[in-house]
Chain A
């Protein structure tokens, strides 16, 4: 922190308390947080969901979202106390001196107006620039942020521009009045890794160039390591610790912070295919598929999954990995090719499969919220497959449900009669696993099962899945976009891009060069904990050879 002088303090938050409205009462969600930000400093706010990072970000603008209220504490921005200022005074700061970059640019740009009209709105409103001046400025900023066709792209509507470009256009919009402070609220969370990297590079450049102070909110440690001078870790509305980035990475003080760092270390030994020539459990053979009336989304996809092994299918959004799962389960009948189970061809459409074929392919979903019926008791959710496939009833059924709850490490007596909304995210995901196990399958498809969960919870789920695999001899098809997960749990890896299998093989080979160029791009785009990672990568590849430029 020595880099910044005491007199240059821009934002000073003291003992901030914020309440949120839930269940007809106000409950505290921020419980006394202090924050000091100097001019030109970039602070990373990091924490799991529910830590209150976004709420603090909004509070730094003197803004309380619908259903929240600032109950006490002081927020001093450049000598002006925001908590006692009038709404008009606070509003006058927003957009002009404090700007905001939202998580989803696609949703945060108004679909009815052109990008450049939204860009010039704030400067014109505050009479900082004339409309034409501001348009010129927008084009300059677009160029600096390396957007293609900087003089033309602003005249498009949001839906005509890709996600990564929109995020950069939104950063440009935040810069339109040259604010003193920008709040970045998870600006790259919704993007693919290869797109994320160019947005990160662009944001870092422009913040450096204009010496703007920033609060960078994210849940991704590796990302914040690239962006921030200092890092503040939050947990459930309270500060855990604050350090400079280097110090935080090398020598975290608190147990919670240490545990966050340790998450990435779980790795189980890799298994090899059986050498006795036995057939694969699931065999995907030359699958082509298309949604009704649409273009082909899968093109000649083939891979095998052997008993007791984990095959990770990786790729970015639109690569066809989830569609492959739909073909295997029979929800989307393929237009060519076939799915074999132990050498037997499965009917293409799930309605043509018999119960025994159906029970063999179970799914665990990404969003446990939508995967469990909120109005059905836990015992019925887990009990139904057992009753349906094995015909268990009465005490036998109850015993089986208890057994399954034991397997997923939830106490039967406590959870038997509860409903999904009463459970935490990790517990719901465990129930989802138990439901799959209740069918007694040999094969389970895990569709991004950990990506909606906080890191520590995700870690627990991965360990549970690993233990179950060893105990029950299950085979997993593990769909993910997260290479860290692949490293920790996979035996074999299938890389997909635009509906095609680009490369496949055992994990150890896949993480060693030489690679297919796309695999290489994918691997190198995953942020690492090293604060110099982005700088080094940009030096290696050059600014024009990252992100969209490199994929096309």
Chain B
């Protein structure tokens, strides 16, 4: 009961303060939360109220962290960059913060994780305690440690595949735009064919044939996603190739390589970087899906997709543990998408596809 009282007192005091100091949006948010809490509290009782309070608290915390992180970035970067960063919405700042955290976790995994990646330390499905933050998995390994190592494996693999897809696709796209003619047509048709098979199905087919070695996964995923990069690069470069300055350079007698490097690339970096982010999300989700189906990264390597599958049975006992690696995947993808969304909005030359 005291929680309910304290909750409402805090909310109303906050709204009053916001209204008094003239912060309209803050006031509206706080007060609508108060009103919503009244209704939910009457229907769902104290439990529902606690849930709302936790959710709102987490949201506020995320917003505060994002805000601080943005201010931090603005403070430490060069003036040209910090001017851009100042315009970033909180969602984008949140995205950057999450990416930053994942990077730290991935790079320093062996130092952060309390146990080894595939170290069996206790019995299967041991419950959580002080030593085992998230309990143990079906073989008695520490789930927390495996999640930390997973950051390195899952994200690293996706990053590798994306980079490769990007190199293939962007190079082909730029060449096709500059060369035109039969080369352009051939590349376009090839991309069409690859894209006309659903990516997950294509990956399953190829993996069933070539096995699931890591390098096989990287190459297959890169081949599957390079047509997307190709199409975008071709479209972006296609808009640049029709410019008069390209015509002037061609008439001067410049070679294709000069055109690509000096004239086209400097004008297409913004959409290409944004596309890299988007592409990463697709690749990451595809690899996670494959792992979830047991056809991606193979045990005992820690990987988020396969961890969900391995511990899925816990769900039927109402345990949320298998949701944590799945949530980790979702959180990173959301984060990247938030940043990309902002970048697309900034460059706005490219509408989302």
- Is there a direct interface between A and B, measured as CB atoms under 8 Å apart in the complex? yes
List residues of A whose CB falls within 8 A of some B CB. Answer: 24, 329-331, 350, 353, 355, 358-359, 361-363, 365, 367, 370-376, 384-385, 388-389, 435, 439
Distance between B88 CB and nearest chain A CB, rounded to angstroms: 13
B-side interface mostly: helix
* Contact among A24, A353, A435 with B248 in the assembled complex (CB-CB below 8 Å): A435
* Contact among B87, B250, B263 with A373 in the assembled complex (CB-CB below 8 Å): B263
Rounded to whole angstroms, the CA-CA distance of A372 and B245 in the bound complex is 5
Q: Is B76 an interface residue (CB 8 A)?
A: no
In contact, A376 and B266 (Cβ under 8 angstroms) = yes
Of B54-62, B251-259, B305-313, the one with at least 4 CB within 8 A of chain A: B251-259
In contact, A439 and B252 (Cβ under 8 angstroms) = yes
Q: Which of B252-277 contact A (CB under 8 A)?
A: 252-254, 262-263, 266-267
Kindly report which residue of chain B lies nearest to residue A385, judged by CB atoms: B252
Kindly report which residue of chain B lies nearest to residue A368, judged by CB atoms: B244
Kindly report which residue of chain A lies nearest to residue B246, judged by CB atoms: A373
A370 with B244: in contact, given A24-B87, A358-B253, A375-B267 (CB under 8 Å)?
A: yes
Kindly report which residue of chain A lies nearest to residue B86, judged by CB atoms: A24
Residues of A with C-beta under 8 A to B243 = 370-371, 373
Number of A-B contacts (CB under 8 A): 49
In contact, A373 and B252 (Cβ under 8 angstroms) = no
Residues of B with C-beta under 8 A to A331 = 247, 250-251
Rounded to whole angstroms, the CA-CA distance of A385 and B252 in the bound complex is 7
A373 with B251: in contact, given A24-B87, A365-B244, A367-B244 (CB under 8 Å)?
A: no
Residues of A with C-beta under 8 A to B254 = 388
Rounded to whole angstroms, the CA-CA distance of A367 and B247 in the bound complex is 13
Chosen A-B contacts, 17 in total, with CB atoms closer than 8 Å, are: A331-B247, A353-B253, A358-B251, A358-B252, A358-B253, A359-B252, A362-B251, A363-B248, A367-B244, A370-B243, A370-B245, A371-B243, A371-B248, A373-B263, A376-B266, A389-B252, A435-B248
Residues of B with C-beta under 8 A to A359 = 252
Kindly report which residue of chain A lies nearest to residue B245, judged by CB atoms: A373
Kindly report which residue of chain B lies nearest to residue A326, judged by CB atoms: B247
Residues of B with C-beta under 8 A to A361 = 251
Rounded to whole angstroms, the CA-CA distance of A374 and B349 in the bound complex is 15
Residues of A with C-beta under 8 A to B244 = 365, 367, 370-371
Distance between B332 CB and nearest chain A CB, rounded to angstroms: 30
Rounded to whole angstroms, the CA-CA distance of A371 and B242 in the bound complex is 10
Kindly report which residue of chain B lies nearest to residue A373, judged by CB atoms: B245
Residues of B with C-beta under 8 A to A358 = 251-253
Rounded to whole angstroms, the CA-CA distance of A330 and B267 in the bound complex is 26
A373 with B266: in contact, given A331-B247, A365-B244 (CB under 8 Å)?
A: yes
Rounded to whole angstroms, the CA-CA distance of A374 and B269 in the bound complex is 13
Residues of B with C-beta under 8 A to A435 = 248
Rounded to whole angstroms, the CA-CA distance of A530 and B160 in the bound complex is 72
In contact, B267 and A350 (Cβ under 8 angstroms) = no
Kindly report which residue of chain A lies nearest to residue B250, judged by CB atoms: A350
Kindly report which residue of chain A lies nearest to residue B242, judged by CB atoms: A370
A384 with B245: in contact, given A24-B87, A373-B263, A376-B262 (CB under 8 Å)?
A: no
Residues of B with C-beta under 8 A to A350 = 250-251
Residues of B with C-beta under 8 A to A389 = 252
In contact, A373 and B247 (Cβ under 8 angstroms) = no
Kindly report which residue of chain A lies nearest to residue B266, judged by CB atoms: A375
**A-B pairs with lowest CB-CB distance, top 9:** A375-B266, A371-B244, A365-B244, A373-B245, A370-B243, A370-B244, A358-B253, A375-B267, A355-B253
Chain B, interface size category, equals: 10 to 19
Rounded to whole angstroms, the CA-CA distance of A375 and B254 in the bound complex is 18
Rounded to whole angstroms, the CA-CA distance of A35 and B263 in the bound complex is 48
Rounded to whole angstroms, the CA-CA distance of A371 and B245 in the bound complex is 4
Distance between B29 CB and nearest chain A CB, rounded to angstroms: 25
Rounded to whole angstroms, the CA-CA distance of A355 and B247 in the bound complex is 15
Given contacts A385-B252, A388-B253, 14 further A-B contacts (CB under 8 A): A329-B251, A330-B251, A350-B251, A355-B253, A358-B252, A359-B252, A362-B251, A365-B244, A367-B244, A371-B243, A373-B243, A373-B245, A373-B263, A388-B252
Rounded to whole angstroms, the CA-CA distance of A359 and B243 in the bound complex is 20
Contact with A along B197-216 (1 / 0, CB 8 A): 00000000000000000000
Distance between B315 CB and nearest chain A CB, rounded to angstroms: 48
Kindly report which residue of chain B lies nearest to residue A372, judged by CB atoms: B245
Kindly report which residue of chain A lies nearest to residue B87, judged by CB atoms: A24
Distance between B333 CB and nearest chain A CB, rounded to angstroms: 30
Residues of A with C-beta under 8 A to B247 = 331, 363
Residues of A with C-beta under 8 A to B251 = 329-331, 350, 358, 361-363
Rounded to whole angstroms, the CA-CA distance of A371 and B243 in the bound complex is 7
Distance between B105 CB and nearest chain A CB, rounded to angstroms: 35
Rounded to whole angstroms, the CA-CA distance of A355 and B254 in the bound complex is 10
Distance between A274 CB and nearest chain B CB, rounded to angstroms: 28
Rounded to whole angstroms, the CA-CA distance of A435 and B252 in the bound complex is 11
Distance between B9 CB and nearest chain A CB, rounded to angstroms: 40
Of residues B247, B248, B251, B266, which shows the largest number of chain A Cβ atoms within 10 Å of its Cβ? Answer: B248
Distance between A353 CB and nearest chain B CB, rounded to angstroms: 8
Residues of B with C-beta under 8 A to A439 = 252
In contact, A384 and B252 (Cβ under 8 angstroms) = yes
Rounded to whole angstroms, the CA-CA distance of A370 and B266 in the bound complex is 15
Rounded to whole angstroms, the CA-CA distance of A34 and B263 in the bound complex is 47
Residues of B with C-beta under 8 A to A373 = 243, 245, 263, 266-267
Kindly report which residue of chain B lies nearest to residue A435, judged by CB atoms: B248
A374 with B267: in contact, given A24-B87, A331-B247, A365-B244 (CB under 8 Å)?
A: yes
Rounded to whole angstroms, the CA-CA distance of A330 and B250 in the bound complex is 11
Of residues A330, A363, A373, A388, which shows the largest number of chain B Cβ atoms within 10 Å of its Cβ? Answer: A373
Kindly report which residue of chain A lies nearest to residue B240, judged by CB atoms: A373
Distance between B261 CB and nearest chain A CB, rounded to angstroms: 12
Rounded to whole angstroms, the CA-CA distance of A370 and B245 in the bound complex is 6
Distance between A422 CB and nearest chain B CB, rounded to angstroms: 15
Of residues A330, A355, A358, which shows the largest number of chain B Cβ atoms within 10 Å of its Cβ? Answer: A358
Rounded to whole angstroms, the CA-CA distance of A353 and B250 in the bound complex is 12
Of residues A331, A374, A375, A439, which shows the largest number of chain B Cβ atoms within 10 Å of its Cβ? Answer: A375
Residues of A with C-beta under 8 A to B250 = 331, 350
Rounded to whole angstroms, the CA-CA distance of A367 and B262 in the bound complex is 21
Contact with A along B92-136 (1 / 0, CB 8 A): 000000000000000000000000000000000000000000000
Rounded to whole angstroms, the CA-CA distance of A375 and B87 in the bound complex is 23
Rounded to whole angstroms, the CA-CA distance of A376 and B264 in the bound complex is 11
Kindly report which residue of chain A lies nearest to residue B264, judged by CB atoms: A373
Rounded to whole angstroms, the CA-CA distance of A373 and B248 in the bound complex is 10
Kindly report which residue of chain B lies nearest to residue A374, judged by CB atoms: B267
Distance between B16 CB and nearest chain A CB, rounded to angstroms: 32
Distance between A260 CB and nearest chain B CB, rounded to angstroms: 29
Rounded to whole angstroms, the CA-CA distance of A384 and B262 in the bound complex is 11
Residues of B with C-beta under 8 A to A374 = 267
Rounded to whole angstroms, the CA-CA distance of A375 and B265 in the bound complex is 10
Distance between B165 CB and nearest chain A CB, rounded to angstroms: 25
Residues of B with C-beta under 8 A to A363 = 247-248, 251
Residues of A with C-beta under 8 A to B252 = 358-359, 384-385, 388-389, 439
Rounded to whole angstroms, the CA-CA distance of A174 and B278 in the bound complex is 46
Rounded to whole angstroms, the CA-CA distance of A330 and B244 in the bound complex is 15
Distance between A25 CB and nearest chain B CB, rounded to angstroms: 12
Distance between B275 CB and nearest chain A CB, rounded to angstroms: 18
Residues of A with C-beta under 8 A to B262 = 376
Residues of A with C-beta under 8 A to B87 = 24
Rounded to whole angstroms, the CA-CA distance of A302 and B221 in the bound complex is 57
Rounded to whole angstroms, the CA-CA distance of A356 and B299 in the bound complex is 65
Distance between B174 CB and nearest chain A CB, rounded to angstroms: 15
Rounded to whole angstroms, the CA-CA distance of A355 and B255 in the bound complex is 12
Residues of A with C-beta under 8 A to B263 = 373, 376
